[in-house]
Amino acid sequence: MSEILRVEGLSMRFTGGAGLFGRRNRATVHAVDDVDLVVRRGETLGLVGESGCGKTTLGRCILRAHKPSAGRMIYDSAAGPVDLAALSRAELRPLRTEIRTVFQDPNSSLNPRMTVRQIVAEPLVVNRLASGSELTDRVAETLRRCGLRPELMRRYPHAFSGGERQRIGIARALVTEPQLVVADEAVSALDVSVRSQILNLLEDLQDELGLTYVFISHDLSVIQHLCDRVAVMYLGRIVEEAETEDLFEQPRHPYTEALLRSVPRPDPRLRRRDDVLPAGEVPSPSEDFTGCRFQPRCPYAQPICAAEEPESIPRCHFTDELSLAGVYTDLRQTS
């Protein structure tokens, strides 16, 4: 499988603004810190971690909603490889049709004053890709692909259910025939009953259109449902990366093990007394770290963990010695 995106040494730092009593808060937050990542064409790569781990910021860097502070993002565009991190706004414009996003909340991401036709057509209009009857035909075709009746395109979003609104959001993302779709918590706001329908739709569309997804979620059952590979993030760093099945059955980083333990099990017999994320202080992403970032919470920490940060992935000094527990049950029944 060829690479569609190669991220190298990517960092995104934010410097604080005004704080309490108007004092300036100069702390720099390392939201994404020296991340390397490869996305293969046609796969679904999951980015998972607790809130604040940097996964959303990383997704927004790939979309170039943020300009990274450092690093490269080599994207294999239709016109050849480009470094997304280095491009100007004008240079990025043609790529906005190739790299698209699906938003989390279909209720707030769809303009209530626009019809479905206007919402889905907008990226084609803005990028001057179609007009007139061709525009209407492309909107109709995309809606049909997303399981919506084209004859309803003159209606407004409020006339649709939550699941249908997310289908409209997906149609808006796909109408430009993108290569790469970054979906951030795309099913988190949906009822459980609708969630698996949308996940199945995303899978079908991927098969049909050869799409590549970067799927960002805190929900491991959703990740297990959809993803081929998973990268686990903790405090701005990727700590483990593996094929989905391997990661779930045999995690190699204590943080991954802790995440897997925290997934609610539908069967009470499978619940354990330690099914919660470990307590302990989570270092601030504005701190300078020495040692492993998970060390304050890690049940396996040794003195070296406070002194030296593991350099390679999985980022754990004891990955070969620890026998970490995975999950052999199918979590997808909870998605």
Which positions touch ligand SF4 (CB under 6 A)?
A: 254, 292, 294-295, 298, 300-301, 305, 310, 316-318
Q: Which is nearer to ligand SF4, 81 or 299 (CB)?
A: 299
Q: Which is nearer to ligand SF4, 156 or 300 (CB)?
A: 300
Give the span between the Cα atoms of 239 and 139, in whole angstroms. 41
CB of 307 to ligand SF4, least distance (A): 10
CB of 241 to ligand SF4, least distance (A): 15
Q: Which is nearer to ligand SF4, 225 or 261 (CB)?
A: 261
Q: Which is nearer to ligand SF4, 125 or 304 (CB)?
A: 304
For tokens 């020495």, what's the residue?
A: 290
CB of 300 to ligand SF4, least distance (A): 4
Q: Which is nearer to ligand SF4, 235 or 316 (CB)?
A: 316
CB of 281 to ligand SF4, least distance (A): 13
CB of 240 to ligand SF4, least distance (A): 10
Give the span between the Cα atoms of 85 and 40, in whole angstroms. 19
Q: Which is nearer to ligand SF4, 256 or 334 (CB)?
A: 256
CB of 45 to ligand SF4, least distance (A): 22
Q: Which is nearer to ligand SF4, 214 or 301 (CB)?
A: 301
CB of 7 to ligand SF4, least distance (A): 23
